[in-house]
Structure formats: C-alpha cells, structure tokens
Amino acid sequence: MQEMIFASRPAQTFVLGAVRCERDFRPSSALLEDVGRSSIPTRPAENGATLGRQIERLSQPGERVGLLLPNLAPTLGLIFGMSARHRVPAMLNYSAGTDAMQAACDAAEIRTVVTSRAFVEQAKLTDKLAGLQGVQLHYLEDIREQIGLGDQLWLMLWAIHFPRAFELPTSPEEAAVELFTPGSEGKPKESCCRTGPSSPISRRSAR
C-alpha cells in the first residue's frame, strides 16, 4: 500500500515542489524561521537562486559541493538555489574537526567547498580549513560580488515567473542533497537524498 501511494503521487523535484508551495501563500508570509528567529520573507527557493547560479559557474553539473555554513534560514535558501542549478549541496559538520570533514569530502568526492569569511572567523575555523586537502574554498562574500545586472534581471523578469525556468531539467531520481551522519567506526557516513519527495535514501560509508 505504501508503494502504491508513492507511485500515485505526481513526480516532481523538491525544489519545484517548494516553488509551487510558495505560490500558495501570501507575499507577506514567512515560510521558514531558524533558531535565531530570523526568517526569509516568502520564496526561500528563489532567495538562493542567484547565489546558486553563481556556484553553478564554479562547478560541474551534478557535482557535490560542500557547504560550511551555519544552520540558518539563508543557508536553506542556498541549498534550494544550488539544487535547482543541478549542484548537490553537501553540509559539512564544522564542529567534527578536520579529520571528519576530510573524511566526508573524500567519501562524497567533494572538491569545491563554499563558506563565508565572517562565519570562519566567528566559528574560529581557520586552522581546520587549512588542514583540508584536495578541496578549493570559495567565499560567499566573493560570490555575491559576482552577481551582476544580468543575474538580477534573470531572477526578477524570468525565473520567478516561470518555475520551470528556475530549475534546470532534473529527474526526481537524481541526488538532491548529501547528508552525513556519525559512523560507528568514527568516520561519517554519507546519505544521498534524491530530489523526489518519495525517493529512497542511499548510504555509503566513508573510506
């Protein structure tokens, strides 16, 4: 019966589902709020669209891109924006230490990591980041500076009004986000969530 319910539901990616959900609420509605009581006023997916478009230019289609950012509302918007541009966000646990972050990067084959200078300074992560091998760091402060008039016009005049244009062609069975859970052997385990709301989660142990 469970499989029948899943099979009968329309197949769509979680980004497109979020965009459609946003259209059902008033423009003044806040759809999400984090522990710091900050919120994104409507359309969290579109709020991360322009940044996602910039990260698209720094990476390859389907690439897993590490995110070293706080668990706040803007980060979720960025996750939506990246997934819409066919990049797989992978949340890295900065509190686990350099070895655990390195193991996560190796397991998910992460070669690009996006973080923030302000966050690195506040969380005192400079030494931990210096110990990471085989990854290239990009900072949101620099990425934001690359957003031009063309990107803003794309969002305001095209992507917001046409959800299908907001998201690159993607199958609901493709990876949407990469998660890591503590492993029994001390190394994180990788969980790959598909873009479809009813798709299974596959796990691979870090080596």
pLDDT at position 47 is 67
pLDDT, tens digit, for every residue of 6-59? 677 667 776 776 766 666 665 556 666 777 666 655 555 666 788 888 999 999
| DSSP code, position 157 | I
pLDDT digit string, tens, across residues 58-81: 999 989 999 999 988 788 888 888
> What local confidence, expressed as pLDDT, does residue 192 receive?
57
Burial 31-69 (b: 16+ CB within 10 A, else e): beeeeeeeebebbbbbbbbbbbbbbbeebeeebbbbbbb
CATH of segment(s) 2-205: 3.40.50.12780
Model pTM score: 0.75
Residue 96 has pLDDT above 80, yes or no: yes
How many other β-carbons are positioned within 10 Å of the β-carbon of residue 191?
Answer: 15
